[in-house]
Amino acid sequence: MRLPSAAAFLCLVPSLALAGQPDARCQGSPKARAARFSAKAMKDASPQERHAAYVQACALDEVVELTQQLVRFKTVSSEVHASKSPEVAAMGRFLQKWAKAHGMAYRAVGANDVFELSWGSGAPSLGLVFHGDVVPAPAHEWKRPPFEPYVQDGRLFGRGVEDDKGPLASALVALDYARQLGLKPQGRVLVIVGNGEESDWNGMGRYAASEPKPTHVISVDSAYPVVAAQSGFVAWNLVAPVGEAVKSPGATLRAVDVKGGEFLTQVPGAATLKLVPAEGRSLAQALTEVRAAIDAEQKARASLNAEVKEDAQQLVLTVHGKAVHASIADEGHNALWDLSAVAARLPLEDNGITAMLRVLVQRFDGDHFGKKLGVAYSDDGLMGPLISAPTVLRVADGQVSLGVNMRRPQGQDAATFNAALDKAAALVGQDSGGRLKEASGRYVGDAHVADTSGTLVTTLMDIYKRHKNAPDAKPTSVRGGTYARLFPKAVDFGPGFPGEEYTGHAPDESISLESLHAGTQMLAEAIHTLVLSPAPVGSPVK
């Protein structure tokens, strides 16, 4: 009996790979494997069912291996631009070699800004968009080296396994399995790998503006079911001179350094404040005062995790939060909130650091949505409220600076929002007695919204509903920004599943093998549904 869909066919095929049992059909060379899923071997199955069965049975191990190979390239774009990065160049050579070995064309666009792998001929019909760069991975935050990927307890660990090298590996393997079965796309399928998504989007921006547009564009860099809208990205910076400390009556401590956060798009998981006793006070007296402040704040916020220690005639106050991607700041715990709250209980001499901490506690502490700054608004339909997170606090060159990352929904034009930021800058100036000002580098992006009733969204939603048995699922939006926003009507399809913690920018980044495998299968079906023609009669390709 002919089954109605690839998903229905697969309900008869258990996942031996996830159970740790090798599937005998996956043994041997690619040619031998593919022959076991050919039209001759599976007479009652459609081409789509055969492709789905091949991916379901055999793809996971290959996807994991390819992901691990990609993760070993330390492609941190915020540290070394793609044009100058030997790691990015090395990854490009690896992908070029992989493409040649698997029947795909390859080219590098710009100074290694974009790597493009393509399969088929003619006008581009499907673009699968990824990024090959990753965010920094400070080794002290990780249990094991971040660029030495490993599998443990059913999860694959390493910087980039979820964001975005695992999804890239899924796409390449799914496409290659179709090719091995002798299937052919209608038009070209492009795998587009940008190398500045975590820092400078200019390279992919030029590519998207100048290259022919595929009929359908899918980014796999966000979440399921289908992400049809993205918040606008906002970067906002405050700065103040540290200056000479004002010795006011009752002030017994002086802030000499402060640090929190690693990069703009991650909520800080830790923050530190260095203090010295004011003139005439001992380090022991200062230590007692800081401990008292911690104890007092602990009674106000039970979640506080803070300690203080002596270090070379200074005190180092450290607070711990939970680092998450800034787009989901309300799912983490911002260490800068707690640091500023403890600091507010300390008798500090007034300088730029103290002023910045005062602004943090007055205008950011406890507020994910920009209400205290006066910038809050919401899209009551698809996208929800604006989110705001202070993420990078530093002292350098005699100045203390604070980087703030916001994600804004549709519903307010850029001019109106910029005016709100102007007022917010004036507020923090008043709060700090004129010390704090807005620094250069303001960036206000607009929201991206796709056509939720178009072919692409409805096709992907149908695939997700069937694979996950979620008939009531609906298109969604995210506060994050992906390369999808550079392409008209583009959407994101995975890799994060509802209810699962996203670890893409966090320490010990990981993805479950089950989720990686499920994503590969759904992407394979999307590729087949959107662009593959009926398979020719006969055996798989040699």
Helix, strand, coil percent content, the chain, rounded in steps of 5: 35, 25, 40
> Is pLDDT at 349 greater than 70 in this prediction?
yes
The structure's pTM equals 0.73
> Distance (Å, rounded) from C-alpha 246 to C-alpha 350?
5
> Is pLDDT at 20 greater than 90 in this prediction?
no
In the chain, the domains with their CATH numbers are 6-10+29-231+449-531 (3.40.630.10), 233-444 (3.30.70.360)
Helix (H, G, I), strand (E, B) or coil at 514: helix
pLDDT recorded at residue 76: 97
Residue 255 forms beta bridges with which residues? 275
> Is pLDDT at 480 greater than 80 in this prediction?
no
Segment 347-364 shows an average pLDDT of: 97
> Distance (Å, rounded) from C-alpha 7 to C-alpha 382?
29
Helix (H, G, I), strand (E, B) or coil at 145: coil
Instruction: Choose between 537 and 492: higher pLDDT.
Output: 492
Segment 435-457 shows an average pLDDT of: 94
- Residue 321 Rama label (left phi>0; alpha psi -120 to 50; beta): beta
Do 397 and 379 contact (CB within 8 A), yes or no? no
User: pLDDT (tens digit, 9 = 90+) per residue, 407-438?
Assistant: 999 999 999 999 999 999 999 999 999 999 99
Q: Which letter does DSSP use for residue 509 in this model?
A: -
> Is pLDDT at 3 greater than 50 in this prediction?
no
Helix axes 513-531, 47-71, angle to 10 degrees: 130
Residue 105 forms beta bridges with which residues? 118
Residue 15's pLDDT band (boundaries 50, 70, 90)? low
> Is pLDDT at 289 greater than 90 in this prediction?
yes
User: pLDDT (tens digit, 9 = 90+) per residue, 192-243?
Assistant: 999 999 988 999 999 999 999 999 999 999 999 999 999 999 999 999 999 9
Q: Which letter does DSSP use for residue 330 in this model?
A: G
Do 520 and 173 contact (CB within 8 A), yes or no? yes
**Beta strands 399-408 and 495-496: pairing type?**
unpaired
Residue 405 forms beta bridges with which residues? 235, 389
Do 95 and 193 contact (CB within 8 A), yes or no? yes
| Tokens representing residue 252 in the block | 């017994």
